[in-house]
Amino acid sequence: MDDNSDGGHPDAGRRRFLKQAGTVALGGLLLGGRTLASATHAMPPAEATADFNPDVEMELAAVVDEVGLLPGAPTAVWRFTGKVLRGNADTLTFLKSSDNGPSFVPVIRTRRGQRVRIFFTNRLPEQSIVHWHGLHIVQRMDGHPMYAIGTGKRYVYEFVVDNRAGTHWFHPHPHERTGFQVYRGLAGFLLVSDDEEDALKLPRGTFDLPLVIQDRTFDSRNQLVYLQNMMERMMGFTGERVLVNAAPDYTKQVERRA
């Protein structure tokens, strides 16, 4: 470095170097920000392919709704809805919050080796995408935030179930909004069965009872409360009410047997 540059002051060259380096770094940061932002939104949604012949095909949508979770006013939620287009009608069901309560929590039941196609539509007021938590599938089908789609857009998932029998779940996965969207109600089971499990002769039907346990905080109007202060943003928080299958004080009539 030339200590005599910029009028000969011994620190002038160093200051000029730091200034230039800072400018380059800032430029790189800004460029990187634009690159990251564009990469997040530039990936086109996946579409159905002609050579993929699904065993199961369904529609799945993320929507805004109201559900009676607590006595009194209904709670505004974001939830999954959908229907089976091809295959067993029981592939997609919804858990009841009680024996006579509303169906709210989705359950997708698959078998190892099945070819699955899901038409996902985002009807939320912000971007979203679905992540199949725990499934062994290709990256393009796994709900990375770079594939998040806007309001009214559609993403087509096509994958082969390649997991052993097990309990998995699915949830939204948009950048920095995953926690919020799950908290609003967007979560469901994805259950995989296989021949190995069948051979165990485990209890089935009414004896196979999926339970979703969640903690939530509600305000005086029965509306969900999320991240009330900076500490909660940094450390997380525990909700004041425990919900089972989206119901407080959950009860279920079962037979008196093992």
**pLDDT tens across 106-115, in order?**
999 999 999 9
Neighbouring C-alpha atoms within 13 Å toward the C-beta of 244: 9
pLDDT of residue 103: 76
Cβ atoms 118, 106 nearer than 8 A: no
Neighbouring C-alpha atoms within 13 Å toward the C-beta of 9: 8
Kindly indicate the confidence band of residue 195, based on its pLDDT and cuts at 50, 70 and 90: very high
What 3-state DSSP class applies to 167? strand
CA distance 206 to 257: 12
In angstroms, what CA-CA distances link 69 with 169, 196, 219, 220? 21, 38, 13, 13
In angstroms, what CA-CA distances link 56 with 111, 133, 154, 201, 255? 10, 19, 18, 25, 33
Q: What is the pTM assigned to this prediction?
A: 0.82
What 3-state DSSP class applies to 64? strand
Tokens representing residue 65 in the block: 């709704």
Q: Is the pLDDT of residue 31 over 50?
A: no
Cβ atoms 174, 154 nearer than 8 A: no
Tell me which of 21-35, 36-50, 56-70 is least confident: 21-35
Query: What CATH number does domain 56-207 carry, 3.30.70.141, 3.40.50.150, 3.40.640.10, 2.60.40.420?
Result: 2.60.40.420
Kindly indicate the confidence band of residue 41, based on its pLDDT and cuts at 50, 70 and 90: low
CA distance 57 to 117: 5
Cβ atoms 66, 73 nearer than 8 A: no
> Higher pLDDT residue, 10 or 69?
69
Which residues 6+ apart lie within 8 Å of 160 measured at CB?
A: 113, 114, 115, 116, 137
Tell me which of 9-23, 97-111, 206-220, 241-255 is least confident: 9-23
Q: Is the pLDDT of residue 258 over 70?
A: yes
CA distance 150 to 185: 19
Tokens representing residue 179 in the block: 């926690």
Cβ atoms 140, 162 nearer than 8 A: no
Tell me which of 33-42, 49-58, 235-244 is least confident: 33-42
Beta carbons within 10 angstroms of residue 111's beta carbon:
19
- CB-count burial class (<10 Å; 0-12, 13-18, 19+) for 118: buried
Tokens representing residue 135 in the block: 């499934």
pLDDT tens-digit readout, 196-246? 999 999 988 888 889 999 999 999 999 999 999 999 989 999 999 999 998
CA distance 104 to 39: 34
